Structure 1
Amino acid sequence: MRKTAYQMRELAACALHGKVPSQELLAQVDPEKLYIMCQFHCLTAMVAVALRSAGIRSPRWEEEHVKAVRKSILLAAERRKLCEFLEQNGIWYLPLKGIVLEPMYPEIGMRQMADNDILYDKTARDKVRTFLTANGYQAISFGKSHHDVYQKPPVYHFEMHVSLYPAGREKRIEAYYANPERLLRKDTDHRFGCHMTAEDFYLYMIAHTHKHATGCGTGLRALLDIYVYYVYLQQKSEVLDWAYLTAELRQLGLSEFEQQMRQLSLRVFSAVELPALSADERKQLESCLISGAYGTVQQGIQRQMQAYCAGETGGTKWHYLVQRVFPPRAVCQARFPALKRYPFLLPVCWVIRLVQAVITQRKHLLLELRCFKELRND
């Protein structure tokens, strides 16, 4: 699949730069393998644009492109309704991630949208839930993390954020984003709509990418987003304040990561033909190519184990296993709120948790055990 992944990269670069793919490239492509790879990376619609430019109009590829365009239009229309409600109720809000990035791509639908992410005033959490459920949405998750998840058939999916970074991942980044209101800048055409400065949005994009990269992994689309945003600002003659960015990246602990991702994105997408890469660049790119759009569960488990063993605890793989089977009360309380009042029930919760995992998460459990066996730390 390595060859197919590199072909996908080249076709994505063709679409990005408005170039027709070479006949030599197209002759080598296995359509089925390419389709599977593009689905894994959420680049099917983008690659469909490149194939169409070469006269290839396969119904399956065309359908994926049409679906991406349709979903983008439908989400935008539904987002306007939600923002009107927020405006009418005096609730500040800040569009995030793909909502900001998608218009910067050459064509609508080229950046496939899984959902819409919006940060808003957390004191209005119940009001927003009432509005969305009254409009046909189901609250898939509410009050359990830094965002609530709402879905409605056929394609509507909103993640309503009450903070910019999840708790319990990286304290340094979590502390930086603890007060998101300091980053808000009022829109000129909305009373309560907000945006970030170009620098702060870029920092947030890097922090979000780092969260995925150190978790389950991050793929080619993350590189595309960084490249597209960086080039968009240059085309608009907007020069990033690198003195500010350097200071903030240092505070976030992301200086090296940002430099690697920015340089790699420019190397990978500045032209259709991939330039000669250094050994480190090749390794970074291939890590992206095997991760897909959202990473893989296996990578997430492996990195979680490695981080535990290399962290402040200095624990072994056996310590990791013990804390996974018998997690502390603070961890269990998220699933069993009664523990706050009845801490003596912790052993019961351990048993329930383990039984539930065996019944409902058997595949994940077996994968974690396999990763545990492979982990070299005794």
Structure 2
Amino acid sequence: MIESNTKSENNLRYFLMLVASVLNETEPPLPDENINWQEVFELASSQSMAAVVFYGADKLPDSLKPDGNVYAYLKQMYAEQLVVDMNLSVETQRMLNLLSDNGISCMPLKGIVTKNDYPLVNLRSMTDVDILCDDRKKAESVFLSEGYVRESVGEKDSSFRKNEILHFEVHSYLVNNTSPAYRYFNNVWKRAITDEKTNIVKMNLDDTYIYMLEHLAGHLEYGGAGVRMFADVYMFLKKHSDKLNQTEISEVLSSIGLDEFERFILKLVNNWFSGDTIPDVSSDYSRFILLSSTFGLSRYTFLSDSIRNSGENSTPKSNGLRRILRKLFPSLKWMKLRFKAVDKISVLYPVFVVVHWFDRLFIRRDVKTYNLKNNYFVSADSDEAKELERIYAEMGLNKRY
């Protein structure tokens, strides 16, 4: 198996059935004596679905509820998520209004929108809020003026934080130009639902669904994705499927190479969450998702990178060196976004590469260490990489390479 996690199929299956009962607002399944609540709790935590699991487990008869410590941890995580949701929701509306008042067209994305499809908005966990802005530089100034600290900057988005709860990502575009969907989503503003009174716009439902699939595919292709993103798709369709233009959506998905992927997703979310069938937890693709974390595992990031860059002149050594150099020396475009001095005077790039790494190593101390041999120099011909490639093929993602 690509992931040797020892969690039993019985616990994996019960976790999915409990989640499904909450999503469908039905009675929770009664656990048998073989259910290990500690394993269910670990799954809920790693998948960022503790609030959902607690909400379902709390409806069980007292004699069947989780063990004392597990129940207490789940309850605490549910309460914490409630606080996070309340604070983020209020602050999001405030910041959207501020952006709008400053003449910036802004479009809320992902979790802050998706949570409205759940039975209770706080059941859908969030750690940040994503906003697409038509003037990113001006939007960044608004966040800085409100006391936010810019944590990171990339070609596509910048991250801002005020405290442990208030965390935003400001996007200038939705998908990278390497994605087949880049051209389609470049026109997302033209198709958006506007408001005569404000500059706050909404993505239309068709685009929301297509973007949901594109975003999920991207995570799977670059390291994996957990159960929560699949639950998002299920809840969106449960609430909005009758309002979608399926013909137009099918044409777009086919043009961006996601038509087979959609068929896979529909089959999987129906199996996992509809309550009509026993959830599949034994297939390689199910375990790939269930035994990852919310956004996959770093190991899969290296494996998928090897698959994408495999070719006649590609070797584990050349791929590994390329990854290391790419990590050590960020692109000039990225450095210009990160440092104003480099943006003005490009020849300062070498100096600020040193500044960048001093900041990472000694100020933020956020550098992750990996086993070079087993990660950076992983081979696309390794058994693990071949298995991951087979999983991608089953998901309908192989045509995206």
Q: Distance in 2 between matches of 1:315 and 1:152?
A: 44
Structure 1 residues 329-372: Cα deviation after superposition (integer angstroms, max 9, x where no partner)? 995425656698559x98x9999999999997875331x42135
TM-score, with normalisation over the residues of structure 1? 0.84
Partner of 1:173: 181
Match of 2:227 among 202, 220, 225: 220
Q: Distance in 2 between matches of 1:329 and 1:370?
A: 19
Change (3 A) 1:64 1:172: same
Q: Distance in 2 between matches of 1:31 and 1:334?
A: 48
Higher relative contact order (CA 8 A, sep 6+): 2
Give the 5 Å matches for 1:44-123.
Answer: 44-54=50-60, 55=62, 56=65, 58-122=71-135
Moved over 4 A (4+): 325-331, 334-343, 348-363
Change (3 A) 1:138 1:241: same
Change (3 A) 1:205 1:362: closer
Q: Distance in 2 between matches of 1:272 and 1:62?
A: 29
Q: Distance in 2 between matches of 1:341 and 1:131?
A: 27
Whether the 8 Å contact between 1:332 and 1:349 is mirrored in structure 2 is no
Q: Distance in 2 between matches of 1:375 and 1:349?
A: 33
Bigger CA drift: 98-107 or 128-137?
A: 128-137
CA shift, 1:228, in A, is: 0.6
Partner of 1:135: 146
Structure 1 residues 230-278: Cα deviation after superposition (integer angstroms, max 9, x where no partner)? 11114xx42x21221111112211111111112211121100752568x
Whether the 8 Å contact between 1:358 and 1:365 is mirrored in structure 2 is no
CA shift, 1:173, in A, is: 2.3
Whether the 8 Å contact between 1:93 and 1:120 is mirrored in structure 2 is yes
Change (3 A) 1:80 1:36: same
Q: Distance in 1 between matches of 2:159 and 2:44?
A: 26
Gaps of 5+ in 1: none
Partner of 2:272: 268
Change (3 A) 1:358 1:328: closer
Question: Secondary structure of 1:309's match?
Answer: coil
CA shift, 1:10, in A, is: 1.6
Whether the 8 Å contact between 1:19 and 1:50 is mirrored in structure 2 is no
Q: Distance in 2 between matches of 1:376 and 1:184?
A: 41
Q: Distance in 2 between matches of 1:351 and 1:193?
A: 40
Question: Secondary structure of 1:246's match?
Answer: helix
Partner of 1:151: 161
TM-score, with normalisation over the residues of structure 2? 0.79
What's the C-alpha RMSD, in Å, of the aligned pairs? 3.2
**Which letter does structure 2 place at the counterpart of 1:183?**
R
**Which letter does structure 2 place at the counterpart of 1:136?**
G
Change (3 A) 1:247 1:101: same
Partner of 2:369: 364
Total equivalences in the alignment:
360
Q: Distance in 1 between matches of 2:230 and 2:126?
A: 16
Partner of 1:229: 236
CA shift, 1:140, in A, is: 0.7
CA shift, 1:316, in A, is: 2.2
Partner of 2:4: none
Bigger CA drift: 316-325 or 245-254?
A: 316-325
Structure 1 residues 17-73: Cα deviation after superposition (integer angstroms, max 9, x where no partner)? 233334344x33323222222110001000000111014383221111111122111
Q: Distance in 2 between matches of 1:53 and 1:272?
A: 21
Partner of 2:190: 182
Match of 2:260 among 247, 250, 256: 256
Partner of 1:297: 298
Whether the 8 Å contact between 1:172 and 1:253 is mirrored in structure 2 is yes
Partner of 1:315: 314
**Which letter does structure 1 place at the counterpart of 2:184?**
Y
**Which letter does structure 2 place at the counterpart of 1:264?**
L
Match of 1:21 among 28, 44, 48: 28
Structure 1 residues 264-311: Cα deviation after superposition (integer angstroms, max 9, x where no partner)? 11121100752568x8xx33222211222111101111110121115x
Change (3 A) 1:284 1:187: farther
Q: Distance in 2 between matches of 1:130 and 1:350?
A: 24
**Which letter does structure 2 place at the counterpart of 1:60?**
Y
Structure 1 residues 172-198: Cα deviation after superposition (integer angstroms, max 9, x where no partner)? 22233234322322136x421211221
Gaps of 5+ in 2: 1-6, 337-341, 383-401
Change (3 A) 1:2 1:175: farther
Whether the 8 Å contact between 1:149 and 1:159 is mirrored in structure 2 is yes
Whether the 8 Å contact between 2:320 and 2:377 is mirrored in structure 1 is no
